[in-house]
Amino acid sequence: MRKISLLFLRDPGGKGFLGYSKEFYKGKLFILKSYFYQMDKEELALFLGMLSGDGYIGIRTKKKGYKNFSVEFCNTNLKIVKLFDNLFYSLFKTRGNFHSRIRNDRKEIFDFRKYSKDIFDYLSSLGFPIGVKKDRLRILPVITSGRRKEKEMFLIGLLITDGSIRKNNTILFHSGSKLLLEDLSKLIYGLFGVERRVKKYVQKGKYFSYQLSLNKEESQKIILLPPSHSGSATVLSLKG
């Protein structure tokens, strides 16, 4: 991605890069979109697939009323969190911080977090939901209207986070978002001509989630996707 200086994005009051007025917002967002438009679209698709699975964008309010705008990601596999961090840096030229949390009787989990109003604005402008995404997350238009390779990379990103490759080499997607898996079913049908229904799954008798499963023949169409410069072959090895 070609680096462009955004230092000129200062309002007349001199409040700095983030201190823009409401009138200034649309122009600022347009320039940000133009800036981010130059990023690698396949990497962006892979990133958005991972973000859709285990990611989150939100607003944290401090005691004095100041707001922090964050992009967050968590997974029990440190390699996957490092992959997300590397994608984040490749796309946005800045790194986040990540740390681990020890949980009683559960796997250690690794958290990534980056505070950035500009990246938050960009992702939300694509349609990524702010806050809890369970009942609102869909496959974003930038993916559904994209090229085949971008759709495949999104699919791989979601497989890394909300999917699993079972011992018999079949694929299962498991998510709390019914809308996301319904969109995924349509995406898979458009790519491979495979039509699968989303099934409801009940955990502990009260928690609802959803599953989309592919048989061995159907799964091979995803597992054997040709590698790209974004490293899909390496990415799939994370699920092995």
SS3 at position 21: coil
pLDDT for residue 21? 42
Q: What is the mean pLDDT of the chain?
A: 81
Tens of pLDDT, residues 70-103: 999 999 999 999 999 999 999 999 999 988 988 7
Kindly state the helix (H) or strand (E) to which residue 200 belongs, with its residue range: strand 199-203
Entry pTM: 0.80
Neighbour count for residue 20 (Cβ, 10 Å): 19
Q: Which of 150, 151, 191, 156 is nearest to 41 (CA)?
A: 150
pLDDT for residue 235? 56
Angstrom CA distances, 74 to 2, 38, 50, 171, stand at: 29, 27, 10, 21
Contact 157, 84 (CB under 8 A): no
Q: How confident is the model at residue 11 (pLDDT cuts 50, 70, 90)?
A: very low
pLDDT for residue 237? 64
Q: How confident is the model at residue 60 (pLDDT cuts 50, 70, 90)?
A: confident
pLDDT for residue 239? 61
pLDDT for residue 148? 94
| Cα gap 159→136, rounded to integer Å | 19
Tens of pLDDT, residues 111-162: 999 999 999 999 999 999 998 887 889 999 999 999 999 999 999 999 999 9
Mean pLDDT along residues 184-210: 89
Q: How confident is the model at residue 198 (pLDDT cuts 50, 70, 90)?
A: very high
pLDDT for residue 149? 92
Mean pLDDT along residues 34-55: 85
Q: How confident is the model at residue 54 (pLDDT cuts 50, 70, 90)?
A: very high
Least confident of 77-91, 156-170, 224-238: 224-238
Q: How confident is the model at residue 65 (pLDDT cuts 50, 70, 90)?
A: confident
Domains and CATH numbers, the chain: 39-237 (3.10.28.10)
Q: How confident is the model at residue 229 (pLDDT cuts 50, 70, 90)?
A: very low
pLDDT for residue 121? 92
